Amino acid sequence: MATSAAWTPLRLRELSVPNRVWLSPMCQYSADDSGVPTDWHLIHYGARAIGGVGMVMVECTGVAPDMRTTAQDLGLWSEEQVAGHQRLTSTIRSLGSVPAVQIGAAGRKSSHGVPWDNSGTRSPVGRENGGWQPLAPSPIAFASLAVPTEMTTLDGTRVLEDISRAARNAHRAGYEALELHGASGYLFHEFLSPLSNLRTDGWGGSLEGRMRFPLEMVTAARTLWPDDKPLIVRLPVSDLIEGGLTVEEATAVAARLGMVGVDMIDLASGVLTPEAPRPAEPLHNARYGPQLRTAGVPVAASGVIREADHLDEAIPDLVDTVLIGRPMLRDPYWALRIRDTDPRESWPKQYHRAF
Ligand SMILES: Cc1cc2nc3c(=O)[nH]c(=O)nc-3n(C[C@H](O)[C@H](O)[C@H](O)COP(=O)(O)O)c2cc1C
């Protein structure tokens, strides 16, 4: 039986990842009051590690208290949080997967409710209820969330320090790969897009100006993240709406990201504004892979990858690796089930008597 390219190892800097089917970062909104991982995270990520993904990408983790989406997000700014993440990384590694974490600064999409109270990004949480004032490149609100404060140079310096500290803490916690969240309409994305960045100073205007602070964010992460470990950026390839970031612009940004030490671009799209369409076609982000690859950096993608045929179509022709989101919420063993091999070759030996 031929081995699909999806199940072959991938090397990024000194890291060898056993296969190219990875868990996509997905917020669990289940941190304790100090932003520390809980038993939920340990079992949730541990089950997916047993489930055969090459890399477990832990959810978007705030670089500072006011950079989180909700008060239930994980953080990486305190020693207590580092110790909690150490539990996660040693568990994921001992179960055969590579522990990675996505760090993020939510920008104007900050300080809202958790999704299961049926509100999520539609319900701002004000200071009186334990929320905080969001920062963004320009004072333009996302939907009904608070109007963010326009970032000053001083705010920018502070955010860059937060990112450096989170990268250093991710290393100390034992993560092998780091992803900077540059998409989903968060701070990095807000700077890149002409729809959310109306600045007239050096951080706005032309694409060169709009990508300046995002590049500084990457450099801030790279500085305290070890040279032998890969840095990935989740990058929007298009805002999917008129007047927004274009694929050509994103390709130019990707090339610059390669020059400042980014080892892989994780393709995303849309979500900057509530009006952007939410594509449902299989492989919709992966299809941008060949175009983005012209930037000279390996590419990954998530987005409606549901079947073994999708994996075969994606890897290696469209992207170098895939990240699987919602199917892995429904089934931690999705990656094992989709493998077209004798279960005794892929499933953990403890489960062989099931077959
Ligand atoms: C519950 C949930 C939480 C998510 N949280 C994050 C996140 O923390 N960071 C991120 O970049 N994307 C996040 N996403 C997006 C997923 O990582 C993924 O890119 C998206 O769901 C598309 O892939 P899929 O079709 O396989 O689900 C989240 C998605 C879901 C469903």
Query: How far is the C-alpha of 242 from the C-alpha of 263, rounded, in Å?
Result: 30
Domain around 72: 20-348
Closest-CA residue, ligand 1 atom 16, reads: 325
Report the separation in Å between the CA atom of 325 and the middle of ligand 1, taken as the mean of its atom positions: 5
Closest-CA residue, ligand 1 atom 23, reads: 303
pLDDT of residue 225: 98
pLDDT of residue 1: 41
pLDDT of residue 118: 61
- DSSP assigned state of 223: H
At 59, give phi and psi (nearest 5°). -50, 165
The residues, ordered by sequence, that sit 6+ positions from 49 with a Cβ below 8 Å of its Cβ are 56, 91, 92, 95, 96, 97
Ligand 1: nearest atom to the Cα of 181? 11
Question: What pLDDT, in 10s, does the model give residues 311-335?
Answer: 999 999 999 999 999 999 999 999 9
Query: How far is the C-alpha of 150 from the C-alpha of 33, rounded, in Å?
Result: 28
Candidates 29, 45, 175, 186; catalytic one: 186
Ligand 1: nearest atom to the Cα of 234? 11
Report the separation in Å between the CA atom of 60 and the middle of ligand 1, taken as the mean of its atom positions: 9
Ligand 1: nearest atom to the Cα of 59? 8
Among 111, 29, 123, smallest CA distance to 64 is for: 111
Closest-CA residue, ligand 1 atom 7, reads: 26
Report the separation in Å between the CA atom of 24 and the middle of ligand 1, taken as the mean of its atom positions: 6
Top mutation candidate among 72, 326, 331, 334 for ligand 1, by most atoms within 8 Å of CB: 326
Task: Specify the CATH number for the domain of residue 337.
Answer: 3.20.20.70
pLDDT of residue 3: 65
6 part of a folded domain:
no
pLDDT of residue 123: 87
Question: What pLDDT, in 10s, does the model give residues 54-69?
Answer: 999 999 999 999 999 9
Task: Determine contact, residues 164/87, Cβ cutoff 8 Å.
Answer: no
pLDDT of residue 164: 98
Report the separation in Å between the CA atom of 333 and the middle of ligand 1, taken as the mean of its atom positions: 18
Question: What pLDDT, in 10s, does the model give residues 221-247?
Answer: 999 999 999 999 999 999 999 999 999
196 part of a folded domain:
yes
342 part of a folded domain:
yes
10 part of a folded domain:
no
Helical pair 79-94 and 39-50, crossing angle rounded to 10 deg: 30
- Whether residue 333 lies in the annotated active site: no
Ligand 1: nearest atom to the Cα of 115? 1
329 part of a folded domain:
yes
Residues lining ligand 1, judged by CB closer than 6 Å? Answer: 24-27, 59-60, 102, 181, 184, 234, 302-305, 324-327
Closest-CA residue, ligand 1 atom 13, reads: 26
Q: Is the peptide bond before 316 cis (omega within 30 degrees of 0)?
A: yes
353 part of a folded domain:
no
Query: How far is the C-alpha of 274 from the C-alpha of 294, rounded, in Å?
Result: 30
The residues, ordered by sequence, that sit 6+ positions from 98 with a Cβ below 8 Å of its Cβ are 15, 17, 18, 54, 55, 56, 92, 176, 177
Q: Which residues of the chain have pLDDT under 70?
A: 1-3, 118
Domain count, the chain: 1
137 part of a folded domain:
yes
Report the separation in Å between the CA atom of 353 and the middle of ligand 1, taken as the mean of its atom positions: 34
15 part of a folded domain:
no
